[in-house]
Amino acid sequence: MSEQTIESILHEQRTFPPAANFAANAHIKSMADYKALCDRAAKDPEGFWGELAETELDWFQKWENVLDWQPPVAKWFEGGKTNVSYNCLDRHLTTWRKNKAALIWEGEPGDSRTLTYAQLHREVCQMANVIKQFGVKKGDVVGIYMPMIPEAAIAMLACARIGAVHSVVFGGFSAEALRDRLNAAEAKLVITADGGFRKDKVITLKDQVDKALADDAAPSVENVLVVRRIEKDTHMEEGRDHWWHEVRQGISAHCPAEPMDSEDILFILYTSGSTGKPKGVVHTTAGYNLYAHVTTKWTFDLKDTDIFWCTADVGWITGHSYIVYGPLSNGATTVMYEGVPRPSNPGCFWDVVEQYGVTIFYTAPTAIRAFIKAGDKHPNARDLSSLRILGTVGEPINPKAWMWYYQVIGGERCPVVDTWWQTETGGFMITPLPGATPTKPGSATLPFPGIQADVLDLDGNEIPANQGGYLVVKHPWPGMMRTVYGDFNRFRRSYWEHIAPKDGQYFYFAGDGARKDEDGYFWIMGRVDDVINVSGHRLGTMEIESALVSHPAVAEAAVVGKPDEIKGESIVAFVMLEEDYEAGDDLDKALKQHVVEEIGAIARPGEIRFSDDLPKTRSGKIMRRILRSLAAGEEISGDTSTLQDRSVLDKLRER
C-alpha cells in the first residue's frame, strides 16, 4: 500500500451505520444480533457450526463429530456424507426454485444464456456422465481451463457430483503455468474450450492446452474435453481430444450425486506463496460448502429475490465461492459475465447491472479505481437503482475509492461490504454484515461470526490498538484449507508456525499485516511476505524471478511491487544480465514477453531495470526492502549496515 493510502486510512473517521429500513429486513439486523452470534460461537463453536450445518445443508448421513482439531489438522463433520453438487442443485428441484434462474450468463460479444436450476442440473448430470466415461473416478483430479462461460461452472459441479477433484486453472495463465499445475495435481482429464473472448480479443485456449501437453509433458492427462465457443478451426488430437457437443450425444442426463465423506477433497486451487512454486490449496466437501453458503447468505444478506453478481473469474477462489458454490447452495440467481471493462467499453459493467437488475454487486478495488478514472458519466447514464449491496475484495480499498463506490454506484443507499479473505480461508473472514455493522471506509470491519481474528506480534502477543502487526486466526473454521496438496509440511510451516504456537494455541497466519483500531475494527495493511497484489491478483515475486532467470540473457533477477494508482501495485523487475547480452529496448520487450509465456499476462512486469549488481546482505540475500524503495523512487530509509557493497545503491539510484 502507498504511504498516501496508509496516511488517509490512519485518519479515516467516518462511519456509516446501516439504514433502519435495510436493517429491519436483514438476516442479521443489529450489532446486538451480531454480538450474540459471536458470543455463541466463542462459547460453543461446535454447537454453533453444527446447528448451521444441520439447518443450511442437506446430508445423506449426519456427522458424528463436528470438529476434530489436532493442530494444524482440522476435520469437520466427520462421519457425515453429503455432496456439494446436490446441495447446489438437486435440493432446489423439489421446491419452487426448480424453474428459477440459477445462472444468468452474459458473453463478451453480447450473447447470453439463462439456465434454470432444472436446466443447470441437466447439464451438470450429462457432463458428469461424460467425465465418468473417460474413466475418471472418485478422487481423480480434473483440470479445468476455461473462459467465463456456463460450462466452467457446469464442469466444476459435474466433478463435485461424482467426487472427482477439480483444479481450475485461470484461463489467463500460460501453457507453461497450466502444465506445471496439471503435473503437480496429476490431472487425468482436462476440460477446456476452443477459446474465449477477452478485452476485444479472441483467446485460443485449446492451443495453450496443446502446448502444455505437447511431447507428453503432462503424462497423467489421458483425455481433453473441449467446449466449442469461438467457432474457429481447432486442432483435435485423435483419441485424446473430444468435442463436448459431440460426446454428449445420447448421454443420459440422470446421474445421482455421489455420497461424499465430509473431508473428501472437493478441489485444489493453486495460489502464489513466497517461494517459486505455487501452492495447491486443498478444500474439502462439507466444511467448505457450509462456509461458502453461510458467508454468502449473511454478508450479502441474500434473499430469493436477489440477482447476485460477482465479477471475478472462476479461475480464482472468489469465483469458486461467490459465483458458483455460495450462491447456488443458497438457491440464488448468480450472474456470470465473460467481459472485463476496457477503454473501448468503460460502461459494460453498468450495462449488465441495468439489463439484469443486479441487486448485489461484488468487485475489486482495482476495477473501482479504473471506473473512477473513466468518469462518472458512465454509471450516471445507467439505471443502477436495482442495487442494494456493494462488495469489494482482493486488496485494501482506499477511502477515496470506497466513498466513490458508495456515492456514485450505490447512491448512498447501499451498504459497502469490504470482505477480507484468501484462497486459503475458503470464504469471508473479516467483513461487515450489511444490516448490522456500521462501516468505515477502508476497513474490512469485524470478524465473521465464529471467526477469532486478531493482530499479534511474532511471539503471539497482542498488539495494542492502532499499531501494525500480523493478522491471525486463532480457532479453526469450516472453510479453512486442509493442506497443501502433496506437501503437508509446507502447509504446517507456511501457515501454522510463522507465529510461534503458544501454550498449545496455534495461530493461522497467511501473510497479511493489519491493525485494529479502538473499536476493534480491522484495517488490512497488505502482504508482509514476498507476495504482491497486482490488480487484485496475487503473485509471488519468486515465481516471476524464476520466470526471468529461465531466459538465457538473465543472470539474476529481483522483483518487487511498486505502488500503482489503479492496480494497487505494479511489477518492477531488477535484472542482471549474462555477459554477452546488452540492455536495451529489444531485450526489455523480450523479457516481458518471456514472463507472459512462462506465467501469463497478469505477471508481465510493468518495468524492467537493468543493473550490474543487486543490493545484497553479506550472506548473499537480496535486500528487497531497498529495491522497493528504489522502485517507488523513495529515499532509502532504515538500516543499510548489513549491505555487502554500499556503492550498489548509488549505481542503482543513478538510473
Residues of this chain that bind ligand PRX (CB under 6 A): 271, 316-318, 393-396, 418-423, 444, 510-512, 524, 526-527, 533, 538
Minimum distance between the CB of residue 447 and ligand PRX, rounded to whole angstroms?
13
Minimum distance between the CB of residue 425 and ligand PRX, rounded to whole angstroms?
8
List 226's β-bridge partners, or say none.
192, 243
Strand 265-271 vs strand 165-168: parallel, antiparallel, or unpaired? parallel
Minimum distance between the CB of residue 407 and ligand PRX, rounded to whole angstroms?
19
Vertex 104 angle, CA 29 and 401, to 5°: 55
How many CA atoms within 13 Å lie on the side-chain side of 510? 22
Minimum distance between the CB of residue 431 and ligand PRX, rounded to whole angstroms?
8
List 534's β-bridge partners, or say none.
537
Grid coordinates of 43: 462459547
124 or 559: CB nearest ligand PRX: 559
Q: How far is CA 462 from CA 30, 457, 516, in A?
A: 28, 7, 10
Minimum distance between the CB of residue 509 and ligand PRX, rounded to whole angstroms?
10
Minimum distance between the CB of residue 283 and ligand PRX, rounded to whole angstroms?
12
What is the widest separation between alpha-carbon atoms in the chain?
Answer: 74
306 or 424: CB nearest ligand PRX: 424
539 or 587: CB nearest ligand PRX: 539
129 or 419: CB nearest ligand PRX: 419
48 or 316: CB nearest ligand PRX: 316
469 or 511: CB nearest ligand PRX: 511
List Cβ<8 Å contacts ≥24 apart for 109-118. Answer: 109/197, 113/150, 115/150, 117/89, 117/92, 117/93, 117/331, 118/93
Grid coordinates of 291: 462456509
Three-state SS string over 495-541 comes to: HHCCCCCECCECCEEEEEEEEECCCCCEEEEEECCCEEEECCEEEEH
Residues 6+ apart with CB under 8 A from 24: 435
Query: For the chain, what is the radius of gyration of the CA atoms?
Result: 24
List strands edge to edge, sheet with 469-473.
453-456, 469-473, 508-516, 522-527
Q: How far is CA 583 from CA 550, 577, 611, in A?
A: 17, 8, 9
| CB-based contact 478:288 (threshold 8 Å) | yes
Minimum distance between the CB of residue 40 and ligand PRX, rounded to whole angstroms?
25
One-letter identity of residue 159 = C
Indicate left, alpha or beta for 77 from its phi (over 0: left) and psi (-120 to 50: alpha). Answer: left
271 or 334: CB nearest ligand PRX: 271
171 or 511: CB nearest ligand PRX: 511
Minimum distance between the CB of residue 405 and ligand PRX, rounded to whole angstroms?
13
87 or 271: CB nearest ligand PRX: 271
421 or 470: CB nearest ligand PRX: 421
Nearest in space to 106 (alpha carbons), one of 98, 117, 114: 114
Q: How many angstroms separate the CA atoms of 248 and 244, rounded?
A: 6
Minimum distance between the CB of residue 311 and ligand PRX, rounded to whole angstroms?
12
Q: How far is CA 612 from CA 574, 575, 581, 642, in A?
A: 10, 8, 12, 19
Minimum distance between the CB of residue 362 and ligand PRX, rounded to whole angstroms?
11
338 or 418: CB nearest ligand PRX: 418
Minimum distance between the CB of residue 112 and ligand PRX, rounded to whole angstroms?
27
Q: How many angstroms separate the CA atoms of 418 and 436, rounded?
A: 14
Q: How many angstroms separate the CA atoms of 363 and 375, rounded?
A: 17
Grid coordinates of 506: 496455534
125 or 539: CB nearest ligand PRX: 539
| CB-based contact 375:404 (threshold 8 Å) | no
289 or 533: CB nearest ligand PRX: 533
Vertex 67 angle, CA 62 and 72, to 5°: 140
244 or 402: CB nearest ligand PRX: 402
Give the residue nearest to ligand PRX (CB): 423
Q: How many angstroms separate the CA atoms of 611 and 574, rounded?
A: 7
Q: How many angstroms separate the CA atoms of 146 and 215, rounded?
A: 22
194 or 418: CB nearest ligand PRX: 418
Minimum distance between the CB of residue 549 and ligand PRX, rounded to whole angstroms?
24
Minimum distance between the CB of residue 1 and ligand PRX, rounded to whole angstroms?
9
141 or 532: CB nearest ligand PRX: 532
| CB-based contact 515:469 (threshold 8 Å) | yes
Strand 112-116 vs strand 101-106: parallel, antiparallel, or unpaired? antiparallel
Grid coordinates of 172: 489467463
| CB-based contact 274:267 (threshold 8 Å) | no
Minimum distance between the CB of residue 92 and ligand PRX, rounded to whole angstroms?
26
Minimum distance between the CB of residue 593 and ligand PRX, rounded to whole angstroms?
25
Minimum distance between the CB of residue 39 and ligand PRX, rounded to whole angstroms?
25
